[in-house]
């Protein structure tokens, strides 16, 4: 399966899953909204019925309830219709607000302000029922009378669940009048006793007796208590907000199409550069090291293209270095081998006579050839990480002094002053022979570049966690354009490669690799006509 198809299948799967999940979430949220709406409607119904019920229980009459109904209609935004069970309309917000009465809705609640007597644990239920009937009848009449006169009535929980009523600071004369009007007549008291006696005459006990007395209590107070009401909310034909799956499906289809289009664009955006990379990699594999890819943008694919180009550049540079290395090795070995062959053929043909000077020249050529081979071997081992090191704790001040002593005779014969400047011990954990090899290469090069009367200075100093060694000369210096190539193989300041310059051109490459293997760095700074300074930085020995 191609990458394009796999990407398309994967993204399609993700898109379909995302769309399905989105649709499920939308439906779930819509269902939750419906539930919340129903809960809110239930809360409105509870608020309306509670406030109307509280008005009836407190005032003992439905007179004046229209104001409460109107306020509830304005606060809830609902159409409220209040009527008795027999159909007598008590109040309607449509009528109160001066609009044409609309057809009633289907949300109907019953509001019954009549109290329920609690006789479950009463030892004398007949006497308790009689007193409760009399107290409530008197109290509700008293409350209704005060309400009609604009008094504030306070309902207080009484015995057996039957409330009592009190005036809240009204006119004493009117309060006294209402108290007189609320007193039961003799006929009402006798009727109450007869009705309750009927339960006693039935001879029932326990639950049936409690049920009979509770029914008797309800019957005896029904003529004075506010009658139950039917509260209807809303109106027929009220607009609803049903959930339609059409928009959800349309949105899902739009998301799916967008995902597919994005996948096509993405696959093209990814595959076109990958195709170019594949072609360039094929050319590179066939040996075309000049193969590169065009890079546009800054995303991951563009970074991949830049990485490929860097790799190709590195391979090309490596190939060029390898060719130069072969050419340099051939050039370095051709001269001594040609000299050896020429002298040997001359000796063979009897052109020249053997002598000490001839043998010394042949020996010099053989030594130079062996030095080049040894340097190449050291460099190869060092770059492969297999060059042997025998590390120990050494003082670089002593290593510098040993190096000075080894090159003192050469410096003196060249008229160059070779000095060491070490303010104190500088200990490192390193191979002393390899470090002397590095310093020897640096000092040899410095002596070659310094004319008579100049100086070469070896110095060391501890700089925090590192030890810094410098080899500075007052020689001819190195051109700025040549500084980046100082540590390259077979590089020489003298491009003519004359025998006067000496050396194999590998010393600085070997020195850099040895310093790197010791965890350090080597750098060079130079100025034409002033001199050159090589700086070696090694980790200092910790206590």
Strand, helix or coil for residue 411: helix
Residue that is last in its domain, among 225, 252, 269: 225
| Ramachandran region, residue 503 (left: φ > 0; alpha: ψ -120 to 50; beta: rest) | left
Q: Which helix (H) or strand (E) holds 174?
A: helix 172-182
- 377 shares its domain with 502: no
Q: Are residues 180 and 215 in the same domain?
A: yes
Q: Is residue 408 located within the same domain as residue 479?
A: yes
Q: 114 or 363, which is more confident? A: 114
Q: How many domains does the chain have?
A: 4
Please tell me the distance from the alpha carbon of residue 210 to that of residue 125, in angstroms, as a whole number: 8
Q: Do 105 and 144 sit in the same domain of this protein?
A: no
Q: What pLDDT is stored for residue 453 in this prediction?
A: 93
Length of the chain, please?
543
477-530 residue pLDDT tens = 999 988 888 888 766 665 544 444 455 667 888 889 899 999 999 999 999 989
CATH number of the domain encompassing residue 489: 3.30.565.10
- Dihedral sign computed on CA atoms, order 280, 283, 287, 290: negative
Q: What is the pLDDT of residues 99-113, one digit of tens each?
A: 888 888 778 889 888
Whether residue 249 sits in one domain with residue 102? yes
- For residues 156-161, average pLDDT: 86
- Encode pLDDT of 337-359 as tens digits: 877 888 788 888 888 888 887 78
Q: Is residue 29 in some structural domain?
A: yes
Regarding whether 130 and 73 lie in a shared domain, the answer is no
Confidence of residue 454 (pLDDT cuts 50, 70, 90): very high
Give the pair of three-digit tokens for residue 430: 């390193």
Tokens of 150: 């604009």
Mean pLDDT of 316-321: 78
Rounded Cα distance between 73 and 88, Å, is 20
Whether residue 398 is found in the same domain as residue 521 = yes
Among residues 386, 419, 449, the one where a domain terminates is 386
What residue spans of 77-124 are helical by DSSP H?
A: 93-96
Within-domain flag for 299: no
> In percent, how much of the chain has pLDDT > 90?
16
For 490, the domain range is: 389-539
* 406 and 419 part of one domain: yes
Other C-beta atoms closer than 10 Å to the C-beta of 177 total 14
Q: Are residues 171 and 260 in the same domain?
A: no
Is 355 in the same domain as 396? no
Instruction: Tell me: pLDDT of 418 over 90.
Output: yes
Say how far residue 436 (Cα) sits from the centre of its chain: 54
Q: Round to whole Å and give the CA distance between 121 and 160.
A: 10
The pLDDT of residue 89 is above 60: yes
| pLDDT value of residue 501 | 47
Mean pLDDT estimate for the chain:
82
Over residues 205-214, the mean pLDDT reads 82
Instruction: Answer yes or no: do 77 and 208 share one domain.
Output: no
Q: What is the CATH number of the domain that holds 325?
A: 1.10.287.130
Tell me what pLDDT residue 493 has. Answer: 61
CB 116 within 8 A of CB 225: no
Is 303 domain-assigned? no
Mean pLDDT confidence for 226-254: 73
Residue 306 neighbours by CB distance under 10 Å: 13
- Predicted local distance difference test score (pLDDT) of residue 466: 93
């Amino acid at each position: 399966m191609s990458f394009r198809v796999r990407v398309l299948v994967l993204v399609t799967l993700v898109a379909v899953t995302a769309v399905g999940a989105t649709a499920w979430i939308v439906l779930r949220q819509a269902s939750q909204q419906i539930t919340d709406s129903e809960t809110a409607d239930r809360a409105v119904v509870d608020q309306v019925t509670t406030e109307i019920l509280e008005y009836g229980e407190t005032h003992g009459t439905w007179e004046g309830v229209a104001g409460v109904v109107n306020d509830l209609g304005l606060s809830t935004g609902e159409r409220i219709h209040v009527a008795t069970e027999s159909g007598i309309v008590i109040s309607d917000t449509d009528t109160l607000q001066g609009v044409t009465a609309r057809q009633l809705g289907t949300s109907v609640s019953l509001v019954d302000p009549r109290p329920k007597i609690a006789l479950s644990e009463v030892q004398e239920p007949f006497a308790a029922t009689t007193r409760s009937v009399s107290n409530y009848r008197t109290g509700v009449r008293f409350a209704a009378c005060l309400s009609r006169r604009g008094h504030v009535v306070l309902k207080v929980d009484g015995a057996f669940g039957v409330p009592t009523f009190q005036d809240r600071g009204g006119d004493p004369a009117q309060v006294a009048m209402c108290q007189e009007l609320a007193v039961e007549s003799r006929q009402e008291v006798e009727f109450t006793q007869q009705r309750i006696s009927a339960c006693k005459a039935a001879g029932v006990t326990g639950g049936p007796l409690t049920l009979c007395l509770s029914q008797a209590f309800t019957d005896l107070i029904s003529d004075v208590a506010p009658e139950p009401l039917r509260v209807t909310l809303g109106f027929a034909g009220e607009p609803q907000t049903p959930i339609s799956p059409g928009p959800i499906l349309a949105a899902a289809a739009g998301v799916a199409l967008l995902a597919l289009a994005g996948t096509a664009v993405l696959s093209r955006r990814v595959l076109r550069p990958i195709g170019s990379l594949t072609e360039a990699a094929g050319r590179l594999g066939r040996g075309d090291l000049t193969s590169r890819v065009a890079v546009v943008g800054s995303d991951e694919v563009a970074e991949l293209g830049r990485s490929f180009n860097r790799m190709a550049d590195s391979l090309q540079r490596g190939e060029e270095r390898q060719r130069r290395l072969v050419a340099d090795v051939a050039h370095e070995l051709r001269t001594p081998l040609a000299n050896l062959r020429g002298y040997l053929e001359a000796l063979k043909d009897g052109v020249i006579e053997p002598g000490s000077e001839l043998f010394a020249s042949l020996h010099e050529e053989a030594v130079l050839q062996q030095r080049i081979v040894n340097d190449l071997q050291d460099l190869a081992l060092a770059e492969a990480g297999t060059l042997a090191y025998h590390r120990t704790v050494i003082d670089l001040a002593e290593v510098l002094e040993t190096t000075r002593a080894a090159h003192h005779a050469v410096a003196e014969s060249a008229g160059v002053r070779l000095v060491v400047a070490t303010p104190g011990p500088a200990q490192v954990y390193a191979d002393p022979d390899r470090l002397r090899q590095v310093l020897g290469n640096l000092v040899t090069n410095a002596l070659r570049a310094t004319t008579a009367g100049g100086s070469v200075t070896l110095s060391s100093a501890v700089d925090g966690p590192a030890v810094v060694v410098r080899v500075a000369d007052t020689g001819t210096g190195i051109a700025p354009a040549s500084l980046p190539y100082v540590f390259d193989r077979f590089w020489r300041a003298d491009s003519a490669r004359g025998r006067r310059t000496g050396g194999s051109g590998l010393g600085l490459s070997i020195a850099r690799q040895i310093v790197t293997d010791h965890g350090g760095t080597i750098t060079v700074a130079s100025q034409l006509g002033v001199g050159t300074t090589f700086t070696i930085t090694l980790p200092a020995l910790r206590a």
